[in-house]
């Protein structure tokens, strides 16, 4: 058995197959960006660390059990990321297993753990502490004070002290120099990294395009933290960051450090870099300077860039010149075909006319574009959604390099809709951590979830919201068929 100062555990989401002859489905497999960076920081400070992705372990060995891990590793501290609410059940299940079978100190971190920290500690004795917000320095200091148990000076920490809870008064909020001291690409710390880099989406077993992973490899890259606006549905907007970590403005990682990471990606045969950070679309000097540096360093890699709002022609031209076209795409989310609904819900607004002009520019640069729409937005009615379907059909006909998808929006903790449901015209079906926990416990047990989305709106029931997205996908598929039938047969 190997002994470690800290073992990082990434949970996953399980959907039990009621057919006993088939394996359970494993989904939501992507790790938070900070996990490897924090692990590397601890290693640099002289601690022995390991990162284990339980979903990857199970995908490689369907008989894998966390108890097998306990036979291999003995840890003083176990860090479990609970960033996304879809891991609510599995994170606690893992904590309980470690607590029953070891003497490890169990600490949780991430957005969901941060928002529900006190409830988690009150309900689950298997969790010893939660780090709220940025966790790099707090976890390092927790390890430094592990022997004496004096945690009151550890920043961002909520912890169990006998039969009561305590919360540190100290706060750590990372700035650019803090991000630049982190190494996000020490992949040697992650067990079975070669398999993880083949995860090209969150969906794991449920990914309809999993066959692509035989060729494509992908790495998620940190460009910064924070946001400047509040979209109604997003649990990672400006207000959410302020609640969860105290952050009031976005920060950018230095361009030189980003390029170092991309160079490491290239060295590790990662073919595509996933970039999802665009908090100041009105001023994209950072991206232009970054792209220029990538070209100067002659890094040959594809990129999937998620724009948070429309760009100008220069951005599109620079993107095309910078990245290998093999897997490169730009993703943007209009969300609705109704300009009124888009303005009500999105922090960065643009009209349909502006969207079409931007798509014209993207087509001239021959850049593939992914567009995401949704149903269930605040204020949306079936009449509004008909505009979304109409827009989608027009896009299929006019823009051959555009792929389109639509799924109902789910409820995220700390989003404006979660914080102020009446203001945003929704009724909540989940309000606490235990609600999220129970949903995913039922799925892992082979039982239907009590709610799929976690809410209904003033105008649409939950089944209606789900049905609208299905109708959109059906309409778009039919339009694709009609388009290619006309191309081949002229009718």
Q: Last residue of a domain, which of 133, 167, 201?
A: 167
CATH number of the structural domain spanning residue 431 = 3.80.30.20
Q: Which of 314, 355, 315 is nearest to 333 (CA)?
A: 355
Note whether 95 and 229 are same-domain residues.
Answer: no
Exposure letters 94-108 (e unless 16+ CB within 10 A, then b): bbbbbbeebebbbbb
Asked whether residue 199 is assigned to any structural domain, the reply reads no
Note whether 139 and 253 are same-domain residues.
Answer: no
Note whether 308 and 435 are same-domain residues.
Answer: yes
Q: Which of 372, 386, 263, 357 is nearest to 308 (CA)?
A: 372
Specify the pLDDT at position 483.
59
Specify the pLDDT at position 209.
52
What's the token pair of residue 200?
A: 């090209």
Asked whether residue 138 is assigned to any structural domain, the reply reads yes
Note whether 158 and 221 are same-domain residues.
Answer: no
CA distances from 442 to 120, 203, 360 (A): 18, 19, 46
What is the rounded CA–CA span in Å between residue 177 and residue 105? Answer: 30
Number of domains in the chain: 2
Q: Last residue of a domain, which of 167, 186, 208?
A: 167
Note whether 220 and 157 are same-domain residues.
Answer: no
Specify the pLDDT at position 205.
54
**Spatial contact of 88 and 437, defined as CB atoms under 8 Å apart:** yes
What is the rounded CA–CA span in Å between residue 127 and residue 157? Answer: 13
Exposure letters 247-262 (e unless 16+ CB within 10 A, then b): beebbbbebebbbbbb
Note whether 130 and 228 are same-domain residues.
Answer: no
**Domain of residue 447, residue span:** 216-489
Note whether 242 and 117 are same-domain residues.
Answer: no
Note whether 234 and 105 are same-domain residues.
Answer: no
Q: What single string gives the DSSP state of each residue in 84-95?
A: SGGGHHHHHHHH
Torsion sign, CA atoms 443, 449, 454, 460: positive
Note whether 448 and 360 are same-domain residues.
Answer: yes
Asked whether residue 184 is assigned to any structural domain, the reply reads no
Asked whether residue 26 is assigned to any structural domain, the reply reads yes
Asked whether residue 189 is assigned to any structural domain, the reply reads no
Asked whether residue 178 is assigned to any structural domain, the reply reads no
Name the burial class of residue 3, with classes exposed (0-12), middle (13-18) and buried (19+) by CB atoms within 10 angstroms of its CB. exposed
What is this structure's pTM? 0.93
Specify the pLDDT at position 200.
65
Note whether 271 and 414 are same-domain residues.
Answer: yes
Note whether 136 and 233 are same-domain residues.
Answer: no
Asked whether residue 408 is assigned to any structural domain, the reply reads yes
Asked whether residue 64 is assigned to any structural domain, the reply reads yes
Name the burial class of residue 296, with classes exposed (0-12), middle (13-18) and buried (19+) by CB atoms within 10 angstroms of its CB. exposed
pLDDT < 70 positions in the chain? 20-22, 200-214, 480-491
Note whether 154 and 274 are same-domain residues.
Answer: no
CATH number of the structural domain spanning residue 15 = 3.40.50.280
Specify the pLDDT at position 490.
56
């Amino acid at each position: 058995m190997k002994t470690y100062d800290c073992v990082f555990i990434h949970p996953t989401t399980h959907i039990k197959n009621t057919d006993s002859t088939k394996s359970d489905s494993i989904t939501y497999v992507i790790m938070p960006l900070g996990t490897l960076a924090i692990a590397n920081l601890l290693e640099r400070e002289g601690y022995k660390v390991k990162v284990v992705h339980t979903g990857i372990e199970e995908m490689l060995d369907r008989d894998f059990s966390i108890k097998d891990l306990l036979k291999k590793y003995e840890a003083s501290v176990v860090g479990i990321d609970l960033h996304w609410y879809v891991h609510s059940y599995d994170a606690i299940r893992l904590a309980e297993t470690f607590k029953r079978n070891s003497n490890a100190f169990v600490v949780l971190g991430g957005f969901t753990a941060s928002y529900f920290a006190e409830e988690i500690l009150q309900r689950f004795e298997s969790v010893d502490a939660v780090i709220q917000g940025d966790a790099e320095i707090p976890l390092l200091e927790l390890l430094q004070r592990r022997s004496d148990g004096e945690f009151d000076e550890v920043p961002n920490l909520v912890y169990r002290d006998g039969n009561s809870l305590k919360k540190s008064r100290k706060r750590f909020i990372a700035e650019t120099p803090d991000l630049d001291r982190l190494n996000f690409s020490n992949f040697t710390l992650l067990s079975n990294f070669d398999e993880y880099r083949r995860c090209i989406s969150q969906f794991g077993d449920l990914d309809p395009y999993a066959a692509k992973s035989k060729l494509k490899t992908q790495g998620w890259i940190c460009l910064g933290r924070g946001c400047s606006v509040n979209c109604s549905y997003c649990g990672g907007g400006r207000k959410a960051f302020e609640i969860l970590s105290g952050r009031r403005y976005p920060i950018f990682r230095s361009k030189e450090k980003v390029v170092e990471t991309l160079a490491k990606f290239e060295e590790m045969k990662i073919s595509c870099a996933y970039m999802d950070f665009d908090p100041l679309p009105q001023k994209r000097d950072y991206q232009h300077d970054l792209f220029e540096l990538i070209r100067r360093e002659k890094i040959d890699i594809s990129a999937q860039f998620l724009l948070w709002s429309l760009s100008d022609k220069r951005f599109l031209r620079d993107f095309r010149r910078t990245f290998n076209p093999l897997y490169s795409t730009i993703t943007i989310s209009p969300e609705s075909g109704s300009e009124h609904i888009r303005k009500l819900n999105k922090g960065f607004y643009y009209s349909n006319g502006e969207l079409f002009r931007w798509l014209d520019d993207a087509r001239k640069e021959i850049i593939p574009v992914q567009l995401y729409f949704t149903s269930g937005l605040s204020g949306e009615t079936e009449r509004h959604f008909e505009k979304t379907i109409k827009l989608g059909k027009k896009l299929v006909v006019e823009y051959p390099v555009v792929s389109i998808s639509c799924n109902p929006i789910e409820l995220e903790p700390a989003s404006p809709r979660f914080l102020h449901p009446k203001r945003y015209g929704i009724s909540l079906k989940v309000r606490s951590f235990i609600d999220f926990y129970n949903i995913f416990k039922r799925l892992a047990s082979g039982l239907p979830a009590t709610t799929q989305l976690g809410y209904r709106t003033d105008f649409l029931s939950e089944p209606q919201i789900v049905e609208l997205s299905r109708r959109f996908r059906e309409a778009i598929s039919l339009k694709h068929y009609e388009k290619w039938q006309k191309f081949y047969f002229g009718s």
